[in-house]
């Protein structure tokens, strides 16, 4: 059981002048998509540098497995690189996590930021180095989805050591998912599909005493049901302290059973506090939250508060 924040390795905060390597561990992207992200990072005083293979393309992957793993390992080994910011998710991180040089990660812990498929990478780094991470937008930035508030949230998580507090938003579709209570534990998780895909691998963390974060995109209610049921039957949710429910984007149209129905049914009888409506995930206004650090979920104040990554 990992329940104390002291169990996490928290890398040094990013400072103006620091070099951050932009890597693509999963799906392909393009310089045009990343240009806005580089503009933001530069405006914060950082030095964003695309990895050698950041714009590679190999079908639905951002280059071959060897190339993607090489970029990650180069970032972890280079003392000049102080942060690793993933360009996007997509698919492919699970194919390369076993090739990560965990000794290099442990020698020089660095901020690793991303979400979606990057949940697989952050799970591997938690397993291999107990490295706390940053669950937030990638460098392939879109202002229409991640406006100023999203940028400010990512900036605060990367470049300050202030606690992060996120309040549930009534207009979020999952806002009605709630089981009253207050829970404290290590915040772990991210994309539900990647959490479920980690069952049976070394990377699924022991969630005993943890607050589980879940979000997803374009998964119909029955698939969300299947993933949560799989996690339950595998015993992965036994002993949870609580569940933080983020955005389930484009997951419900055209079905009699809504995503809120499924989340309420599959999470409501776990006997732990559940808070929905958190603007964390693939939806508009995505906010950034540390993972692998101590968190408190409080349904009375409708907040998720974490110590910094």
pLDDT tens figures, 139-161: 999 999 999 999 999 999 999 99
Residue 280 has pLDDT above 50, yes or no: yes
Per-residue pLDDT band for 6 (boundaries 50, 70, 90) equals very low
Same domain, 175 and 285: yes
Same domain, 46 and 149: yes
Same domain, 244 and 141: no
* Cα(83)–Cα(80) distance, integer angstroms: 9
Q: Catalytic pick from 116, 150, 153, 198? A: 116
Q: Catalytic pick from 135, 198, 219, 282? A: 282
Domain end among 121, 137, 159: 159
Please enumerate in sequence order all residues whose Cβ is within 8 A of that of 99, keeping only pairs 6 or more positions apart, or say none.
65, 69, 73
Q: Catalytic pick from 135, 155, 198, 215? A: 215
Most distant CA pair in the chain: distance in Å? 54
Same domain, 180 and 69: no
* Cα(43)–Cα(24) distance, integer angstroms: 22
Residue 80's domain comprises 19-159
CATH of the domain at 201: 3.50.30.60
Residue 1 has pLDDT above 50, yes or no: no
Per residue in 219-258, pLDDT tens?
Answer: 999 999 999 999 999 999 999 999 999 999 999 777 889 9
Active site residue 116: yes
Domain count, the chain: 2
Name residue, tokens 């020089």.
108
Same domain, 155 and 23: yes
Same domain, 216 and 283: yes
Tokens standing for residue 160: 């300050």
Percent of the chain with pLDDT over 90: 96
Beta pairing class for 211-217 and 242-249: parallel
Please enumerate in sequence order all residues whose Cβ is within 8 A of that of 59, keeping only pairs 6 or more positions apart, or say none.
none
Active site residue 135: no
Q: What is residue 2's predicted lDDT score, i.e. its pLDDT?
A: 42
Residue 198 and residue 230 in contact, taking contact as beta carbons nearer than 8 Å: no
| Averaged pLDDT of the chain | 96
Active site residue 215: yes
Per residue in 68-102, pLDDT tens?
Answer: 999 999 999 999 999 999 999 999 999 999 999 99
């Amino acid at each position: 059981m990992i329940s104390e924040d002291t169990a996490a390795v928290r890398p040094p905060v990013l400072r103006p002048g620091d070099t951050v390597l932009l890597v693509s561990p999963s799906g392909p992207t393009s310089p045009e998509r990343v240009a806005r992200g580089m503009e933001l990072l530069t405006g914060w005083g950082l030095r964003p540098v695309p990895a050698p293979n950041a714009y590679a393309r190999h079908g639905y992957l951002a280059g071959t497995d060897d190339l993607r793993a090489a970029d990650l390992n180069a970032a972890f080994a280079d003392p000049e690189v102080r942060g690793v910011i993933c360009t996007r998710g997509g698919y492919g991180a699970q194919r390369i996590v076993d090739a990560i040089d965990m000794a290099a990660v442990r020698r020089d812990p660095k901020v690793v930021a991303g979400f979606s498929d990057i949940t697989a990478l952050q799970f591997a780094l938690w397993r291999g180095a107990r490295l706390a991470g940053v669950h937030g937008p990638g460098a392939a930035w879109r202002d229409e989805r991640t406006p100023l508030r999203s940028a400010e949230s990512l900036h605060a998580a990367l470049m300050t050591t202030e606690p992060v507090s996120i309040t549930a938003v009534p207009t979020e579709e999952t806002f009605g998912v709630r089981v009253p209570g207050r829970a404290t534990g290590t915040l772990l998780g991210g994309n539900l599909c990647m959490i479920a895909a980690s069952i049976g691998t070394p990377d699924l963390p022991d969630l005993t005493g943890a607050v589980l974060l879940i979000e997803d995109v374009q998964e119909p209610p029955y698939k969300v049901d299947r993933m949560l049921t799989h996690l339950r039957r595998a015993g992965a949710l036994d002993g949870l302290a609580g569940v933080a429910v983020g955005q389930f984007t484009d997951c419900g149209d055209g079905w009699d059973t809504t995503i809120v129905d499924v989340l309420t049914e599959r999470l409501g009888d776990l006997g732990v506090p559940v808070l929905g409506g958190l603007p964390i995930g693939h939806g508009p206004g995505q906010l950034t939250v540390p993972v692998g650090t101590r968190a408190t979920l409080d349904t009375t104040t409708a907040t998720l508060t974490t110590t910094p990554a």
